[in-house]
Structure formats: C-alpha cells, structure tokens
Amino acid sequence: MIEIRNYNGRLLLQVDAKTLEGANLEGANLWGAILKDAYLEGAYLWGADLASAYLEGANLR
C-alpha cells in the first residue's frame, strides 16, 4: 500500500501497489506531498503540482 500525504498529514493518494512506476499523475495536486524514497520511474507527471513537495531520495528517472 502506498499513501501520499501532504505536510499536514492529509491523505492525497492511496494505491494498493509497491511502486508508482509508470503511473499517470497528469495534473495531480501533490502540493506539499512527502515522496521520500518514492519509486516513480516512468511516471507521467505533466502538469502535476509538486510545489513544496519533499522528494529526497525519490527515483524520478
């Protein structure tokens, strides 16, 4: 299970998966999301709002 929460702890996304590899997050509002060590290889993030997101160690290849 993957949960992405913002800095206030509000649940933004919950997925029954181990990675978000190849996920289509086009236009997603992930403002303030905590994505530490996230595996997002091949994910489609066009137009996603990642303002203030925490991406330390994330694989965004």
pLDDT at 6: 86
pLDDT at 1: 84
Question: What's the structural domain count of the chain?
Answer: 1
Q: Where are the alpha helices (DSSP H) in the chain?
A: none
pLDDT at 43: 92
What stretches in the chain show pLDDT beneath 50? none
E strands present in the chain: 2-5, 11-15
Q: Which domain holds residue 40?
A: 1-61
